[in-house]
Structure 1
Amino acid sequence: MAEVDRISFLPLEIKLSILSRLRIKYAVRTSALAHSWRHIWTHLSCLCLNSEQDLLGDTRKPPNISNIFTVSTSWIQCVHRLVSSLLGPLLVFQLFSFPNSDKRGPLLQSLLDLLLQKGGVQTLDLSFCNNPGKIHLPWFHSLQMLRLSRCHIALPTGFQGFHRLETLDLYEVEISNDDLNLLLLTSKKLTSLMITKCQASGNPLSVNLSLPLLRHPEFGINEFVENMSVDSSPCLEHATITLRHVAIAFSFAGYSLQKLARMILQLVTSVAMVSSLKLDFDVLKCLSLVALPFNFTIPQLRFLMLYLDVDTMDQRVYDAFFWLLRSMPFLEELEVELLRSCSFLERDDDYDQADRVAILMRELLVKKHDGFACLERTVTSVAINMETLDVIASFAWIQFFLLNAKGLKLLKIGYFSGGDLMPSFIEELQKADVPSSDAKVMFFNRDTRQITNLCMND
């Protein structure tokens, strides 16, 4: 009895679902399977391309497929032909690692214009190894998600906004102040926004957001930012503020630590209604430069993730950390990432500095403190992540929470290496005075996923 070719009789929707899970070059090659598969791939509505993995000019192609890609044709021209061959609207278009070429700017512009002609684009994701040159972003009327990385963009003349846009991610994007503010002003449905390491063409970046539906903003501040703040947004849920390589940033003329500190304080204050907040360690350093105590509170905050450099903290950063906790009266969960900058250095004086900081932190932290409403009443879970289990550099922070978080139920200690130090850690922890009789400590190896539990009241 002859075998029945069931796969050829599958409905078009199921065939397209299968092809959508393949890389495009393999989806095209399915045309060789049977006559009924010949042009199925041209109905795809989602296209994800990576110049290193989707070698559209590959000569190893199956027989009986029309030669729409040739070795002599450049990669981006192959993409252009591919998009031209699609029959229906292209809803999702992702392009990564656009190859280097002197003509890449015009070719990319032509491709975007073709996408506009196809219509229906809802997701546009363009990520480049380096800046392909200035491109004009077409007015995609149905766009709901826009992600751009390492490019220079401009809005078209008469731009009236992406009225359906809900997610906007800009990473290392160069854009004029006027275009950026126009884009944000006309995108009233935005719920998720990321602006990281961007710069304005010719002028410092200055943005004052007024987005009534915004829930998840993320800001990566660099030396090209003049001002960034958020007007009242009742929907705010989670905010992220990052600031990296501060010392490098301030080498630029006209940029000062105090100026950046004031801007960071303004930004933290403007997102004070969030329930979840993430701050990296350079943000805390900046906040340590403003006048203490902080004059703001974050009354709805329930979760905080904080990065701390345990090798470079000083009294001022320590004070900023304390006042930050005091500004969060209803905090319930805290995650602390302990970073060690000196662990990547080899000079003896770097390690001497780390030891001095460790001694200072033990003196400041390993004792009971007053004035922390969240530690007195609401904090029940603390996670402390570190590279290596290290009693000298990190143990003071663990003791601080064991001593002061009276309602603490779980202290999770995550690490990548140093499991052989576990007995020393456990021995030291069992000596600690723990106010909460229910407190449990969990060691979590982030490499092996191994878990070791310790009950503090045993």
Structure 2
Amino acid sequence: MAEAEVDRISFLPLDIKLAILSCLEIKDAVRTSALARSWRHIWTHLSCIYLSEYQDPLGSPRNDHTVPSSWIQRVHRLVSSLRGPLSVFHLFSSWPHDDQSDLKSLLDLLLQKGGLETLNLLFYYDPGKFHLPWFHSLKVLVLYGCHVLLPTGFRGFRCLETLEMCNLQISNDDLDLLLRTSSNLTSLMILDSQASGNPLSVNHSLPLLRHLEFTIIGFVWNFSVVSSPCLEHAGFYFRHADYSSQILAWMMRLLSSVAMVSSLKLDFDVLKCFSVVTLPFNFTIPRLRFLMFYLNVNTLDRRAYDAFLWLLRSMPFLEELEVEFERVDDYDHADRLVILMKELLVEKHDGFTCLARTVTSVTINMGKLDVIASIAWIQFFLLNAKGLKLLKIGYFDGGDLMPSFIEELQKAEVTSSDAKVIFFNRYTCQITNLCMNE
């Protein structure tokens, strides 16, 4: 037999064949059954399944006449064909589901298969209430857009390490039980979720938690992490919250509880609830090295600016700072903003330990290069960060504004002799360097 005619792939070990099939979409993996008799059932040994209804799991393209329940049933048949345990299952559905029986049957089948370690359920439309089976070996659980109930007698996901809940409905009792029985949890994300129309209200000690992110919706000051000694990364975001005295007290407890984090993400509106009169000036987050916050310049005012200065003073060892600007559409406000920012920002400031000693990298991201909205902030860091080595300005469009932006920026006073400014197009990855000390 000629060298070119030798079928080397068919003689590969099973684990290598499965590694090859795992790189394919499931419909293509199923089609390999037609290659040869030896390939007929190889795909049934797959342990990781990723499914989206935009492509039928058994090979037929989705069309507008496909019935959601029929698609779920085909997924059920595919999972039934698998011969071994399933370790990863990812399901994305963008159809409304009026009948939960097919989904319940599928989840029960996954439970019967055993060995499931990662479960991702993402629904564009709420499929209605359904009970989440008790998967004994589950390590990663991601739930999006659904209403989850825990089964009677639920004893917890003892192996669970990562829990992500977005746009989720879950009762406070179930959430309390879920967190209380997940003793190995290291990552928790709760975004835009609520307890059946009411605020989430749980209080927990999470001894192994290292990563925490959640959204504050309305009056949610009862959600707190009492103790988390291992916490390293945290992120908090507001959604239509009332900046009341209760929220202020809640935020202070929250910041105190994350005083040992090294990385922090904040929606800038989080700090809008603070009045400079009530801020504790001796408050510090001593281990923090990286801060990222989102800045809505349309709502920027003096109070938010004072909170920003307070925040910098509370982080004496900060090394990296990243600011994400939302685009300015209100140009009347932008004009007022320029006056305010030039008055407040473009001057020397004292009392910032991090700017005087430790901050070496600042990144300012924006949708479009906008001299009006961001130049004062850039000048602030060039003027006050004595050890600044890199200032990175990211943008998606507005490259035609680059000459005027650079011309304005070159007027800035620069304190650090090592400061380097880089413009980075986030869409094309094009880089433009600007040396500020020539």
Q: TM-score, normalised by structure 2?
A: 0.93
Post-superposition CA distance 1:115-162 (Å, at most 9, x none)? 111111111110001111111111111100000011111111111111
Is residue 271 of structure 1 aligned with residue 251 of structure 2?
A: no
Query: Segments of 4+ in structure 1 off by > 6 A?
Result: 70-73
SS state at 1:335 partner: strand
Amino acid at match of 1:297: T
SS state at 1:205 partner: coil
Equivalent residue number for residue 24 of structure 2: 22
Post-superposition CA distance 1:13-51 (Å, at most 9, x none)? 111111111122221111111111111111111111101
Aligned pair partner of 1:444 in 414, 424, 430: 424
SS state at 2:202 partner: strand
SS state at 1:164 partner: coil
Give 1:398 deviation, angstroms.
0.8
SS state at 2:222 partner: strand
Equivalent residue number for residue 373 of structure 1: 353
Equivalent residue number for residue 65 of structure 1: none
Post-superposition CA distance 1:362-407 (Å, at most 9, x none)? 1111100111111111111111112222222211111111111111
Identify if the C-alpha distance between structure 1 residues 141 and 197 changes in structure 2 by more than 3 Å, giving closer, same or farther: same
Give 1:73 deviation, angstroms.
7.4
Aligned pair partner of 2:113 in 108, 113, 118: 118
Amino acid at match of 1:184: L
Would you say the 8 A contact 2:209–2:228 is kept in 1? yes
Number of matched pairs? 433
Equivalent residue number for residue 77 of structure 1: 73
Would you say the 8 A contact 1:146–1:165 is kept in 2? yes
SS state at 1:173 partner: coil
Structure 2 gaps of 5+ residues are none
SS state at 1:170 partner: strand
Identify if the C-alpha distance between structure 1 residues 100 and 49 changes in structure 2 by more than 3 Å, giving closer, same or farther: same
Identify if the C-alpha distance between structure 1 residues 375 and 289 changes in structure 2 by more than 3 Å, giving closer, same or farther: closer
Q: Answer with 91-100 or 401-410: which moved more.
A: 91-100
SS state at 1:330 partner: coil
Q: Answer with 436-445 or 94-103: which moved more.
A: 94-103
Identical residues among aligned pairs (%): 72
Q: Answer with 407-416 or 141-150: which moved more.
A: 407-416
Q: TM-score, normalised by structure 1?
A: 0.89
Q: Give runs of aligned pairs for residues 197-236 of structure 1, distance below 5 A.
A: 197-201=192-196, 203-223=198-218, 225-236=220-231
Is residue 432 of structure 1 aligned with residue 419 of structure 2?
A: no
Give 1:269 deviation, angstroms.
2.4
Is residue 52 of structure 1 aligned with residue 54 of structure 2?
A: yes
Identify if the C-alpha distance between structure 1 residues 232 and 358 changes in structure 2 by more than 3 Å, giving closer, same or farther: same
Equivalent residue number for residue 303 of structure 1: 290
Is residue 195 of structure 1 aligned with residue 195 of structure 2?
A: no
SS state at 2:201 partner: strand
Would you say the 8 A contact 2:188–2:213 is kept in 1? yes
Equivalent residue number for residue 108 of structure 1: 103
Equivalent residue number for residue 346 of structure 1: none
Equivalent residue number for residue 125 of structure 2: 130
- Structure 2 distance, partners of 1:204, 1:122, is 30
Amino acid at match of 1:315: R
Would you say the 8 A contact 2:313–2:352 is kept in 1? yes
Would you say the 8 A contact 2:199–2:217 is kept in 1? no
Amino acid at match of 1:53: Q
Would you say the 8 A contact 2:97–2:126 is kept in 1? no
Give 1:178 deviation, angstroms.
1.0
Equivalent residue number for residue 234 of structure 2: 239
Give 1:241 deviation, angstroms.
0.9
Identify if the C-alpha distance between structure 1 residues 57 and 405 changes in structure 2 by more than 3 Å, giving closer, same or farther: closer
Amino acid at match of 1:242: Y
Q: Answer with 161-170 or 448-457: which moved more.
A: 448-457
Structure 1 gaps of 5+ residues are 61-69, 251-255, 344-349
